[in-house]
Amino acid sequence: MKRAVLMWVLAGLLARHAAAQITPYSLQVQAGPGLLAFTFSVRGNQVRAYVPDDVAPGERFSGTLEGPPNFVFELGGQSARVGERDFSWVMPAGEPGEFVPLVLKDFRGQELGRASVRVAAPGPAHAAFRFPKFVHAGHSAPILGPFDGDSGTTAMLIGGEPARVLAESPRKVVVRAPEHAVGPVAYTLRKGSVEKQGDLRALDIKTTPQSNAKLAVAVHGLAGLADEVALRLETDYIFIHPSDVNPEGAFETQVVLWGMDQNVSARQARLVFAQTPRDEVGLILREPNQDRRADPALQHVAALKTLDFDPFPALESYLTDFDLGNDAAYAMLALDEERAMRMLLASMPRSGANIERLGLIWFVRHYTPAAKGPARSDAHAAALRILSVPSTASETVELAMHTLGLSGTAEDIALLEQRFRSGAVWAGGRRIQDASEAAMARLGSTTHLESIRNQLSQPVPEQLTPQQATFLSQLLDKAGFAGRKELLPAVCPHLSDPAAFEIDVTWDPKPRAMAAVRAIATQTTPISIAPRKTIDEWKDYCRRAQ
């Protein structure tokens, strides 16, 4: 009897322990155009929930559930059963960036798994509907517009076939394009009492592994293409132009995979949907230059000018992007140099070393005595911020010194003197020391002005060594950045300096002497874009100036 009671107690404990165990499951989260897909693999089944990717606290949204029945999803006290209906919920209160649990349960209420849905910041409403030019047959596509988050009042036809609504927020609806409608097709969208009709192009896109290092991408439905098509394959972008389409209305290419790429068979080329102004600007910046002889910035500017919104805020947001930062900066400068420089300078040092160098070089090259006001004060403030960061690269520190010399006052001499006295134990340190001395001389330091003049006045050997020619070139750069007319009598003789030769390499200080004279004469810098003259013209200038 005791044994039977013990076995019964043990069996009960084991049952309760088994019931308390968490059911094993796996979760895959995919970010599609305009939505998030949460796929749970549990008990031999796959269950999926689609939700829009832009829902803010308190906003109504709709989604779709796929999988076998008798599974239930819950979010913020709201629930929906798989296989029964699509759902319409309200995003719980919370701060943007926080996460709300999306819980999967069985029909008995036992939790089987959970995912996290990110709460978005409130986005601007769309006053008009905006339809994509292209859709990927059998895949999701977003339509922007004045929606209400209730997919029960939304329906769409593409090529005469229903396009299933997968998710809806107050700013967009995401539908699944029919699989068999390929090429130019008509669409009809009904939202409540509103109906919109038009035409788009449905594409059939197939990605096939060719080897461990190549993927073949084939796109059909392109006959009569008039616009550019953008595809994305992981981090690679493919741009299809009308001239790329073959007589069969298709496009084919092979993409080489670099590095240790894994799971090649799972990689698929996807149609790119620009859902925000930033997306549109990013696509323009990513497009390869169609004419390699032309300035890429001019190509970008031509495309940016066709947009129906101000691209500058979006361009500014790309300044911190490792891949697109420089392209964004050059496009900004080509669009509106004054506005661009203010943004570039204001972004330093947050935007990183590349933008610091680009922006400061631009300021130094384009500096003129008339460069006063906001641009000059912004450059001065940016240089001080850069110098306050201990880890700043030596090249950027050198540029910041030159910028202080051009934009500062005598009050900056103490900081420059501190940098000058820090020593020059390596090449970068020597250039920083030269830049700081040139800046101090420009800002009125007679001590450093005399130091530069004395160095320039030393006799030049009839035959220079490469080291001597290099030193003279650096000294002439320093004089040019100092920009003081008192240095002309010491600089002008160097227009006749000999060159140094070693095998097939030449070191000639004369071009640096010309740049220094030009900088002093025009009150610019040795790397200025100011018009150039011949060496004889500058020698004549020196004779007249003295």
Q: Within a domain: residue 197?
A: yes
Which letter does DSSP use for residue 213 in this model? S
Same domain? 360 vs 485: no
Separation of alpha carbons 379 and 359, rounded Å: 9
Q: Name the helix (H) or strand (E) containing 486.
A: none
Cα dihedral sign, 5-11-15-21: positive
Q: Are strands 45-52 and 35-42 parallel, antiparallel or unpaired?
A: antiparallel
End-of-domain residue from the set 444, 461, 486: 444
Same domain? 409 vs 349: yes
Number of domains in the chain: 5
Q: Are strands 270-271 and 229-233 parallel, antiparallel or unpaired?
A: antiparallel
**Residue 17 is which amino acid?**
H
Q: Within a domain: residue 528?
A: yes
Q: Within a domain: residue 178?
A: yes
Is residue 518 a contact partner of residue 538, using CB atoms and an 8 Å limit? yes
Same domain? 150 vs 242: yes
Same domain? 358 vs 427: yes
Separation of alpha carbons 52 and 93, rounded Å: 17
Helices (H) and strands (E) in the chain, counts: 16, 24
pLDDT in tens, 11-54: 333 334 444 445 789 999 999 899 999 999 998 899 999 999 99
Q: Within a domain: residue 8?
A: no
- Positions in the chain whose pLDDT score sits under 70: 1-22, 258-265, 371-374, 423-427
Separation of alpha carbons 79 and 101, rounded Å: 12
Separation of alpha carbons 25 and 45, rounded Å: 10
> Helical H runs in 350-459?
353-365, 374-387, 394-407, 413-420, 427-442, 446-456
Q: Within a domain: residue 128?
A: no
Same domain? 262 vs 284: no
Q: For the chain, what is the radius of gyration of the CA atoms? A: 33
Is residue 282 a contact partner of residue 289, using CB atoms and an 8 Å limit? no
Quote the pLDDT of residue 265.
64
Q: Within a domain: residue 18?
A: no
Quote the pLDDT of residue 228.
93
Same domain? 293 vs 233: no
Quote the pLDDT of residue 423.
66
How many angstroms separate the Cα of 354 from the Cα of each of 328, 335, 395?
A: 12, 20, 11
Same domain? 238 vs 145: yes
Same domain? 359 vs 323: no
How many angstroms separate the Cα of 50 from the Cα of each of 18, 73, 131, 269, 478?
A: 32, 11, 20, 21, 63
Q: Within a domain: residue 103?
A: yes
Same domain? 411 vs 376: yes
Quote the pLDDT of residue 425.
59
Q: Name the residue range of residue 380's domain.
A: 337-444
End-of-domain residue from the set 335, 351, 376: 335
Same domain? 86 vs 207: no
End-of-domain residue from the set 271, 288, 307: 271
The backbone torsions φ and ψ at residue 189, rounded to the nearest 5 degrees and listed phi first, read -115, 130
Strands of 236-240's sheet, edge to edge? Answer: 236-240, 229-233, 270-271
Q: Within a domain: residue 10?
A: no
Same domain? 416 vs 464: no
356-393: b (≥16 Cβ within 10 Å) or e: bbbbbbbbbebbeeeeeeebbebbbebbbbbbeeeebe
Angle (CA) 340 346 347, round 5°: 90
The backbone torsions φ and ψ at residue 478, rounded to the nearest 5 degrees and listed phi first, read -60, -40
Same domain? 179 vs 237: yes
Q: Which of 26, 18, 59 is nearest to 43 (CA)?
A: 26
